[in-house]
Homo-oligomer: A and B are copies of this chain.
């Protein structure tokens, strides 16, 4: 996996192949394939091997501050080599390989979702989140815009934009707060 990261940094994850990793590591292709049946599987394990991906959700008691800190940390991480390109390559592979998509979800997305929902639930119990908010939408609403910018528009995720996104999510799009409860 260290070989994967080194080689990925040098030649780009697009050109990375299991064959190239095997050659660099001085191992046989078959040895590598036995453990990592696809490029995506190798990328995922490489990502998870980097301990910084343990994004523990802060709980200072202030939901807005904690969400802000969490997202800033995630975005900073994506901005540091090798994370950003590695993660992009992994998501790229997931579009082609359902096994990689399933592994990515099981080993990275789902645990992170659980932490997010747990933090939101605590906040809801403490009256910092609307009592009517469907917690199962939490991850998709908070992370969705970030992934959209990171993967699709590829615009820089500035702190200013993150703050404005959170403001809009908390304030809501409806015109009048008093009539915000939908029929």
Bound state CA distance, A176 and B105, in angstroms? 34
Does A25 belong to the interface (CB within 8 Å)?
no
Question: Contact at B137–A165, with CB atoms within 8 Å?
Answer: yes
Question: Contact at B174–A170, with CB atoms within 8 Å?
Answer: yes
Known: A145-B140, A148-B147. A180 touches B175 (CB 8 A): no
Question: Contact at B95–A151, with CB atoms within 8 Å?
Answer: yes
Bound state CA distance, A145 and B46, in angstroms? 27
Question: Contact at B101–A154, with CB atoms within 8 Å?
Answer: yes
**Set of chain B residues within 8 Å of A59, measured between Cβ atoms:** none
Question: Contact at B92–A96, with CB atoms within 8 Å?
Answer: yes
Does A2 belong to the interface (CB within 8 Å)?
no
Question: Contact at A152–B105, with CB atoms within 8 Å?
Answer: yes
Question: Contact at B175–A172, with CB atoms within 8 Å?
Answer: no
Bound state CA distance, A170 and B137, in angstroms? 13
Bound state CA distance, A104 and B154, in angstroms? 11
Does A80 belong to the interface (CB within 8 Å)?
no
Does A47 belong to the interface (CB within 8 Å)?
no
Bound state CA distance, A161 and B164, in angstroms? 24
Does A171 belong to the interface (CB within 8 Å)?
yes
Interface residues of A in 68-107 (CB under 8 A from B): 88-89, 91-98, 101, 104-105
Binding site for B on A (CB under 8 A): 12-14, 88-89, 91-98, 101, 104-105, 109, 127-134, 137, 140-141, 143-149, 151-154, 161, 164-165, 167-175, 177-178, 180-182
